Amino acid sequence: MPSTLPETELHNPQTTKTPLDPHLKALENEAIHIFREVAAEFDKPVMLYSVGKDSSVLLHLARKAFYPGRVPFPLLHVNTGWKFSEMIAFRDETVKKYDLDFIEHINPRGTAENVTPFSHGSALFTDIMKTEGLRQALDAGGFDAAFGGARRDEEASRAKERIYSFRTPEHRWDPRAQRPELWNIYNGMIRKGESVRAFPLSNWTEVDIWRYIQVEDIPLVPLYYAKERPYVERDGMMILAEDPRLELLPGEKVQHGSIRFRTLGDFPLTGAIPSQATNLEEVIAELEIATVSERQGRAIDRDQSGSMEKKKREGYF
Amino acid sequence: MTVSAIAQAAAEASTGSVTAFPANETARVPRDTRPLRLITCGSVDDGKSTLIGRLLWDTKAVKEDQAATLRRDSGKQNDLGLPDFALLLDGLQAEREQGITIDVAYRYFATDKRSFIVADTPGHEQYTRNMATGASTADLAVLLVDARTGLLEQTRRHATIASLMGIKQFVLAVNKFDLVGYDRARFDQISHEFRELALSLGVRQITAIPMSALKGENVVYDGKASMPWYDGQTLVEVLELATVRSAQTVGFRLPVQRVSRPGESFRGYQGTVAGGSVKPGDSVVILPSGMVANVTKIVTFDLVRNAAVAGDAITLVLDRQVDVSRGDMIVSLESKPQTGLAFDAQLVALQSDGIQPGKRYWLKSGSRRQRVTVEPSSQLDLKSGKWSHHTETLAMNAIGKVHLAFDEQAVFDAYEQNRTTGAFILIDPDTNNTVAGGMITAKRSSLSGIHTEDSRVLLSLPADLADQLMATELFSARREEADIRRISAGKAAEVLDGIDG
């Protein structure tokens, strides 16, 4: 995007698209308001970018919020080294296409101590590579505000989280000492070292995300659409079998089928679902009759009930 | 929301075509209207968790794996084969351990007509703080009572707080109605009492519904089988037809969040329209500076728009170089908000330190943050609904009237007129915590707030004080608007007594 714009060309080329319905428009307005408020109030914001569908929506809203200017903060990808390869390709393309400032961080302990989801289990692996990795990256960048794409409808402990979620210098979340949040007036006052996680998508539901992607024509990682892919069944999950680091256990065999993913993360921890939905319309059609929540495919939530709250208290996003 | 959407929904509701959802209904994709924000008030004893659980369950907002986790965690089901809904709602482990709900939680569900955001607040002693938080964004309050006990003191408290926070639509859910044998006379009695209470608080949109949340009667599905005499709406039908507040009727307001300067040729003011509407060509004033300019463009990512209304996040371009920065408010020339150094407000104290008289707090309203001194003047007794004559401090959970004194010009509308530009929070500079939520009631003039539009005031002053007053710049500028007579003290007393008498 050019830094200056001729007066006559302030139009986005896509003026012919259908306008948002009042429901999505209200959610979009709220998200843009939050983006602008954080960008104005904090010294050094950053946007957590996980390459998934929620991150794609978040990025789209950020571009809208600051148009005709550039997105005034960097994107941070806390990589684990175990992401789907298609995610990384999509990520690099997106950063280039939208002229974004981009930071990638991988916890060095990952390679130094050979931390893998197979050797350490999902709980410890996530704790080291995601929670600890995120803390490292935020500390290194000196960021005082971090945008995330979390939604309150995702998980029970999220339902009580504020839009500005206060964190101690140790990145801890104390659910009992949250600041009251009234109207749309956000309290961004913090001391040095403290920070805020800001969640512009707090009031969105999964259906809203998908419908917004459809109306706004937001590009996604192709893994969200069904395709003939190799997979292995393990612990009741369908694991994508294309990375050579996936070692087959006794009795396991690579199968092929039309599958897609409802959420994206580390390939060994993210289960696919059988699906014939090869485009957005079909994905939404499937979603509308879905009777299982999207986090069902995630090993991380199933370790124990209340596991997300525990991780969040320790600084997980 | 569009008027036609409401009309259409109303028409459908009146023909009775939308009363029941088949059990295999797909996930809802609402399109016609903005989400309705509501708050539920009541205690565990009233069956609030059951009611919200029932709403989520019957609108298919609970997915199978979540239900499975519920069943696993609770290890028990009620006699209808449903899981313990409280576990679905009490999300934090800390709460489960203590069996209490500690904070405001937000729930989401949708029907074909609309989607809903429920602020779910606990009903025990921290209710004021949590309820005020939940109510601040709500358009409608659902007040729950147990049909066996009827209205309680807490019902009055909940209704008082809800109306104070500007909620104009009440639904009374007379729950556990199965336990009073679906007695119509009982319902009539409770709903009559409630109507009187709500009217006394100035709330006129009132709907009472007999229901059993446990059995799912009159929540999403109707309860005709048990209550053939009730031909009113179910809870969900009322919610579908409720109005979402719109601030479009008052003058244009744009609190400036940030100034966008991507290059030399472009300068735009970014913010969310907080009232009224705006179009290119409109004359606007920048407050508090008072400078005037004209709107040339309304820029958004999608297109250059020819109008923007309350709620829209926009970038405004003006026709001349004026000094505008974050915290300023761009407003319509015809209908300006109040500007001044002193305002009256009502507030809710949210933290254990309460509100200290004379302490300098940060006040944030819209995008503006400024220093303020707060003097409490009276406190609301939630039991009786009466204001005390005098108070100096406000403890946590207290609701009080206060005087606000600013160092620099402040800009507000009355909360009654505009829920965005009339609302504020107070931040303690020592802890950075949010310590109060407040609502502006009026500007305070230097003459102790006797100013109202179009009225005149008779003052009887000692002649020397009158000389000083008339010598001020303010007075001399408006000298021709004043009538002055020199009379004796005795005559003045006679005149004034005559008026009062």
Q: Using a CB-CB distance cutoff of 8 angstroms, which residues of chain A are in contact with residue B350?
A: 180
Any residues with CB less than 8 A from the CB of A112 and at least 6 apart, and which? Answer: none
Q: Using a CB-CB distance cutoff of 8 angstroms, which residues of chain A are in contact with residue B301?
A: 12, 63-64, 67
> Are A99 and A195 within one domain?
yes
> Are A132 and A225 within one domain?
no
pLDDT for B140 = 96
CA-nearest residue to B92 within chain A is A157
In a domain, A11, yes or no: no
Q: Look up residue B252 and give its amino acid.
A: F
Q: DSSP code of A61?
A: H
SS3 A75: strand
Q: What is the rounded CA–CA span in Å between residue B393 and residue B397?
A: 12
pLDDT for B63 = 66
> Are A225 and A173 within one domain?
no
In a domain, A183, yes or no: yes
**Is some CB atom of chain B closer than 8 A to the CB atom of A290?**
yes
Q: Using a CB-CB distance cutoff of 8 angstroms, which residues of chain A are in contact with residue B88?
A: 156
Say which of A23, A181, A293 has its CB closest to residue B65: A293
Q: How many domains does chain A have?
A: 2
**Is some CB atom of chain B closer than 8 A to the CB atom of A160?**
yes
- Answer yes or no: is pLDDT of A7 > 60: no
CA-nearest residue to B304 within chain A is A11
Region A248-253: what's the mean pLDDT?
Answer: 92
Q: Using a CB-CB distance cutoff of 8 angstroms, which residues of chain A are in contact with residue B310?
A: none
Residue B37 Cα, gap to closest chain A Cα (Å):
11
Output the CA–CA distances (angstroms, integers) from residue A100 to A75, A93, A155, A164, B263, in the order listed.
Answer: 7, 11, 30, 24, 17
Domain that holds residue A292: 219-302
Residue B58 near residue A48 (C-beta atoms within 8 A): no
Q: What is the rounded CA–CA span in Å between residue A228 and residue B256?
A: 51
Class of B338-443 in CATH = mainly beta
Residue B95 Cα, gap to closest chain A Cα (Å):
10
> Are A67 and A34 within one domain?
yes
Output the CA–CA distances (angstroms, integers) from residue A121 to A107, A128, A262, A269, in the order listed.
Answer: 17, 11, 22, 10
Of B185, B179, B189, nearest to B211 (Cα)?
Answer: B179
- Answer yes or no: is pLDDT of B4 > 50: no
Of B136, B114, B106, B3, nearest to A23 (Cα)?
Answer: B114
CATH 3.40.800.10 for domain B3-241 = no
> Are A177 and A45 within one domain?
yes
**A16, A183, A294: best to mutate for the B interface, most B CBs within 10 A:** A183
pLDDT for A158 = 79
Q: What is the rounded CA–CA span in Å between residue A94 and residue B201?
A: 55
Where in chain B are all domains bearing CATH 2.40.30.10? 253-332, 338-443
Q: What is the rounded CA–CA span in Å between residue B150 and residue B187?
A: 9
Residue B323 near residue B291 (C-beta atoms within 8 A): yes
> Are A201 and A265 within one domain?
no
State both tokens at A141: 């960048």
Region B236-248: what's the mean pLDDT?
Answer: 85
**B28, B73, B88, B258: best to mutate for the A interface, most A CBs within 10 A:** B258
Taking 3-state DSSP, the helix, strand and coil percentages for chain B, each rounded to the nearest 5, stand at 25, 30, 45
- Answer yes or no: is pLDDT of B13 > 60: no
Q: What is the rounded CA–CA span in Å between residue A278 and residue A260?
A: 9
**Does A68 sit within 8 Å of B258, measured CB to CB?**
no
Q: Which residue has the higher pLDDT, A57 or A301?
A: A57
pLDDT for A207 = 85
Q: Concatenated DSSP letters for B227-289?
A: -TT--S--HHHHHHHPPPP---SS--EEE--EEEEEETTEEEEEEE--BSEE-TT-EEEEETT
SS3 A273: strand
pLDDT for A16 = 54
A170-197, pLDDT tens digit by residue?
Answer: 888 887 778 899 999 999 999 999 999 9
Q: What is the rounded CA–CA span in Å between residue A88 and residue A79?
A: 9
Confidence of residue A12 (pLDDT cuts 50, 70, 90): very low
Confidence of residue B25 (pLDDT cuts 50, 70, 90): very low
Q: What is the rounded CA–CA span in Å between residue B243 and residue B256?
A: 28
**Which chain A residues in 213-232 lie under 8 Å from chain B, judged by CB atoms?**
none
> Are A169 and A232 within one domain?
no
Of B367, B459, B96, nearest to A156 (Cα)?
Answer: B96
**Which chain A residues in 51-80 lie under 8 Å from chain B, judged by CB atoms?**
63-70
Q: Concatenated DSSP letters for B320-374?
A: S-----TT-EEEESSS--EEEEEEEEEEEE-STT-B-TT-EEEEEETTEEEEEEE
Q: Which residue has the higher pLDDT, A4 or A224?
A: A224
**B434, B435, B439, B440: best to mutate for the A interface, most A CBs within 10 A:** B434
Question: Could you tell me how many CB contacts below 8 A there are between chain A and chain B?
Answer: 212
Region A108-116: what's the mean pLDDT?
Answer: 89
Q: Using a CB-CB distance cutoff of 8 angstroms, which residues of chain B are in contact with residue A22?
A: 1-2, 32-34
Residue A268 Cα, gap to closest chain B Cα (Å):
21
Confidence of residue B399 (pLDDT cuts 50, 70, 90): very high
Q: What is the rounded CA–CA span in Å between residue B348 and residue B296?
A: 41
Q: Using a CB-CB distance cutoff of 8 angstroms, which residues of chain A are in contact with residue B367?
A: 37, 40
Residue B477 Cα, gap to closest chain A Cα (Å):
39
Find where tokens 């994206």 sit: A264
- State the sign of the Cα–Cα–Cα–Cα dihedral A228, A229, A230, A236: negative
Residue B130 near residue B162 (C-beta atoms within 8 A): no
| Cis peptide bond N-terminal to B288, omega within 30 | yes
pLDDT for B26 = 40
> Which range, of B119-128, B405-414, B420-429, averages the lowest pLDDT?
B119-128
Region B138-162: what's the mean pLDDT?
Answer: 92
> Are A54 and A150 within one domain?
yes
State both tokens at B206: 């009132």
List beta partners, residue A227. Answer: A259
Q: What is the rounded CA–CA span in Å between residue B242 and residue A96?
A: 46
**Is some CB atom of chain B closer than 8 A to the CB atom of A157?**
yes
Instruction: Give the burial class of B112: count Cβ atoms within 10 A of its Cβ; 0-12 exposed, 13-18 middle, 19 or more buried.
Output: middle
Residue A82 near residue A96 (C-beta atoms within 8 A): no
State whether ipTM is beyond 0.90. Answer: no
**Does A183 sit within 8 Å of B137, measured CB to CB?**
yes
Output the CA–CA distances (angstroms, integers) from residue B102 to A175, B41, B125, B144, B433, in the order listed.
Answer: 9, 14, 10, 19, 18
Fold category of B253-332 in CATH: Elongation Factor Tu (Ef-tu); domain 3 (2.40.30)
- State the sign of the Cα–Cα–Cα–Cα dihedral A58, A63, A66, A70: positive
**Does A67 sit within 8 Å of B300, measured CB to CB?**
yes
Any residues with CB less than 8 A from the CB of A173 and at least 6 apart, and which? Answer: A161, A165, A166, A167, A197, A312, A313, A315
Q: Measured between alpha carbons, how far apart are the two ends of chain A, in Å?
A: 30
**Does A191 sit within 8 Å of B432, measured CB to CB?**
yes
CA-nearest residue to B26 within chain A is A289
**Is some CB atom of chain B closer than 8 A to the CB atom of A193?**
no
- Answer yes or no: is pLDDT of B48 > 90: no
Region B281-294: what's the mean pLDDT?
Answer: 96
pLDDT for B438 = 97
**Which chain A residues in 232-261 lie under 8 Å from chain B, judged by CB atoms?**
none
| Long-range Cβ contacts of B450-458 (<8 Å, 24+ apart) | B458/B495, B458/B496, B458/B499
Instruction: Give the burial class of A280: count Cβ atoms within 10 A of its Cβ; 0-12 exposed, 13-18 middle, 19 or more buried.
Output: middle
Q: Using a CB-CB distance cutoff of 8 angstroms, which residues of chain B are in contact with residue A180?
A: 129, 132-133, 350, 434, 437
Element (H or E) spanning A208, and its range? helix A206-216
B411-467, pLDDT tens digit by residue?
Answer: 999 999 999 999 999 999 999 999 999 999 988 865 445 556 567 778 888 888 888
> Are A243 and A164 within one domain?
no
**Does A5 sit within 8 Å of B266, measured CB to CB?**
yes
CA-nearest residue to B420 within chain A is A183
CA-nearest residue to B303 within chain A is A11
Confidence of residue A239 (pLDDT cuts 50, 70, 90): very high
Instruction: Give the burial class of B266: count Cβ atoms within 10 A of its Cβ; 0-12 exposed, 13-18 middle, 19 or more buried.
Output: buried
**A1, A23, A288: best to mutate for the B interface, most B CBs within 10 A:** A23
| Cis peptide bond N-terminal to A274, omega within 30 | no
In a domain, A12, yes or no: no
CA-nearest residue to A182 within chain B is B133
Q: Look up residue B306 and give its amino acid.
A: N
Side-chain-facing half-sphere of A69: CA atoms under 13 Å: 21
Any residues with CB less than 8 A from the CB of B468 and at least 6 apart, and which? Answer: none
> Which range, of A278-292, B189-203, B363-377, averages the lowest pLDDT?
A278-292
Residue B21 Cα, gap to closest chain A Cα (Å):
14
SS3 B220: coil
Where in chain B are all domains bearing CATH 3.40.50.300? 3-241
State both tokens at B100: 């209490």
> Are A294 and A153 within one domain?
no
List beta partners, residue A111. Answer: none
Q: Report the CATH number that the domain containing residue A37 is assigned in CATH.
A: 3.40.50.620
Say which of A4, A289, A293 has its CB closest to residue B265: A4
Q: What is the rounded CA–CA span in Å between residue B385 and residue B403?
A: 21
**Does B258 sit within 8 Å of A40, measured CB to CB?**
yes
Q: DSSP code of A130?
A: I
Q: DSSP code of A56?
A: H
State both tokens at B469: 């007053």
In a domain, A242, yes or no: yes
Region B30-58: what's the mean pLDDT?
Answer: 83
**Is some CB atom of chain B closer than 8 A to the CB atom of A89?**
no
Q: Using a CB-CB distance cutoff of 8 angstroms, which residues of chain A are in contact with residue B266?
A: 4-5, 68
> Are A162 and A262 within one domain?
no
Say which of A70, A178, A180 has its CB closest to residue B437: A180
pLDDT for B5 = 41
Region A35-47: what's the mean pLDDT?
Answer: 98
Q: What share of chain B has pLDDT > 70, as a percent?
A: 81
- Answer yes or no: is pLDDT of B231 > 80: yes
Q: What is the rounded CA–CA span in Å between residue B209 and residue B392?
A: 42
Q: What is the rounded CA–CA span in Å between residue B434 and residue B353?
A: 11
Q: Concatenated DSSP letters for B156-212?
A: HHHHHHHHHTT--EEEEEEE-GGGGTT-HHHHHHHHHHHHHHHHHTT--EEEEEE-B
Q: Considering chain B, what is the average pLDDT of its residues? A: 84
Q: What is the rounded CA–CA span in Å between residue A183 and residue B426?
A: 13
Region B72-82: what's the mean pLDDT?
Answer: 58
> Are A276 and A227 within one domain?
yes
